[in-house]
Amino acid sequence: MQKPTSPPRVAVIAIGGNALVAKGQRGTITEQFANSRKMLRGIIDVIKAGFMPVIIHGNGPQVGSAMIRVDMAIDKVPEVPLGVLVADTEGGMGYMIGQSLINILRREGLPIPVTTVLTQVVVDRNDPSLERPTKPVGPFYSEEEASNYARDRGWKMIEDAGRGWRRVVPSPVPLEIVERETIRLLIEHGVIVIAAGGGGIPVYLESDNTLEGIDAVVDKDLTSAVLGQSIGAEFMAILMGEPQVALNFGTPNRKDLGALSRNEAAALLDQGEFAEGSMAPKIRAAIRFLDGGGRKVIITNTDNLLDAFHDKAGTRIYA
């Protein structure tokens, strides 16, 4: 493995877990593989344009499904804690995305190595969110189903941006990427890295500086910002279902946003223009990345990704 003669232009690309489970699908492995191949086409265009991507993915539907399996098998096999389920989904989804990307690269005649790095993310063991679950995971339910789960299983349920009801779990703020130097070295040697899947495996530091797991799910967009800062990424792209961010989404007064400064985005966030559980975390992650030295954040869908890199599509937030 030869180190490239010039430093790559690194772009952290964050993909939502829902990108692999389309609306109306059951989320079978076959469906998720097919969605992976479709979603990666935009990233291939970015690679051809000379950018080195570090791919981070969410795992909301996948870890939610894993939690349901654990709950249903509680009297048959030992319980698996949430932190370990995050690691399980990080490996499984890394396999799906990695294999799909390798196959596309081979068909395109691009001999670029790809690997998945199981990534631990340090959080504060006293983070207040551990006592107040807010992170939606798993499938969407009707209000009646959500009420039944809350009553029968003690789940905390919320209505998620008009799309239905979902279970919520703790989501502490990411502070540090444990494997950052490993990821940096791989990038410097021309390897495409899939890292911090599901926001990474949450851990905290003991008094002797050793690591211990914790049961939570970290927001993948905030983790993307922290990882981007750690490896000196120039750009961050957050992929979603819509082509760009919009104010008054879902109303006749919808206003699509193109180019924004960091301060303009922060002002809109402070004014409550972005919904929690959907767009607000993405804007916070964008601000964090820019404040840490990043040049530009793109928020768009996979079809418009390359045009957004060239300032022709999507929502672009500049430092």
- Quick one: tokens of 293? 């030295």
Three-class SS state of 133: coil
Clarify whether 3 is annotated catalytic. no
Helix axis angle, 280-291 relative to 262-270, nearest 10°? 140
Give the pairing type, strands 9-15 and 235-239.
parallel
DSSP category for residue 272: T
**Tokens 């957050």 belong to residue:** 238
Classify the phi-psi angles of 215: left when phi > 0, otherwise alpha if psi is within -120 to 50, otherwise beta: beta
Among 64, 135, 138, 294, the active-site one is: 135
Catalytic residue chosen out of the listed positions 83, 220, 294, 304: 220
> Which run of H or E residues covers position 236?
strand 235-239
CA dist., res. 123 & res. 175, Å (int):
5
Q: Say which residue the tokens 């993909």 belong to.
A: 15
Q: What's the CA gap between 266 and 242, in Å, rounded?
A: 21
Q: Is 18 a catalytic residue?
A: yes
CA angle, residues 183, 184, 187, in degrees to nearest 5: 85
Write down the catalytic residue from 18, 35, 59, 301.
18
Q: Which of 16, 17, 60, 198 is catalytic?
A: 17
Active site residue 282: yes
Set 27, 94, 282, 294: catalytic member: 282
Residues with active-site annotation = 17-18, 135, 220, 282
